[in-house]
């Protein structure tokens, strides 16, 4: 089911906020920010808009992401999904599978997300 882009951006903003907050507890804000920037740089090679996501000490903001009014959400959703997958994948390597899974679960992600599986939420059913 395709969602309106604004809804997608809002949903991912909430998800990234949880991941960001939880991972900063282990990595520290500085390293979590570096990790986000590193992942954003990689994803930006394909989706330049990802660099507009702001990772600040008070949380993640997607307000600068341009939201297309008429297009489907597939492109935006794909961008966020790839970002989340990559972030969780590196997090798993740095913190170990158990901690990364805990962080993912707090954000409502299915366990497969920490590897390279599709980003699905517990809400959607794994």
**Interaction site with other proteins (CB under 8 A):** 27-28, 30-31, 34-35, 38, 41, 90, 93-94, 96
Task: Provide the β-strand partners of residue 108.
Answer: none
Which of 80/87 has CB closer to other proteins?
87
Work out how close the CB of 35 gets to other proteins at its nearest, in angstroms, rounded to a whole number: 4
Which of 9/39 has CB closer to other proteins?
39
CA atoms within 13 A on the CB side of 28: 3
Work out how close the CB of 98 gets to other proteins at its nearest, in angstroms, rounded to a whole number: 12
Separation between Cα atoms, residue 24 and residue 43, nearest integer Å:
20
Work out how close the CB of 125 gets to other proteins at its nearest, in angstroms, rounded to a whole number: 31
Which of 7/29 has CB closer to other proteins?
29
Apex 69 CA angle, 57 and 85, nearest 5: 45
Residues in the chain: 126
């Amino acid at each position: 089911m395709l969602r309106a882009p604004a809804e997608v951006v809002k949903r991912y903003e909430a998800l990234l906020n949880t991941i960001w907050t939880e991972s900063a507890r282990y990595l520290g804000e500085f390293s979590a920010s570096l990790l986000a920037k590193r992942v954003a740089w990689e994803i930006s090679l394909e989706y330049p808009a990802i660099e507009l996501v702001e990772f600040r000490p008070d949380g993640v903001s997607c307000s600068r992401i341009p939201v297309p009014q008429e297009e489907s959400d597939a492109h935006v959703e794909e961008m966020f999904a790839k970002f989340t997958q990559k972030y969780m994948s590196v997090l798993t390597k740095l913190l170990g599978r158990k901690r990364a899974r805990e962080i993912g679960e707090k954000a409502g992600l299915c366990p497969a997300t920490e590897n390279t599986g599709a980003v699905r939420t517990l809400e959607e059913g794994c």
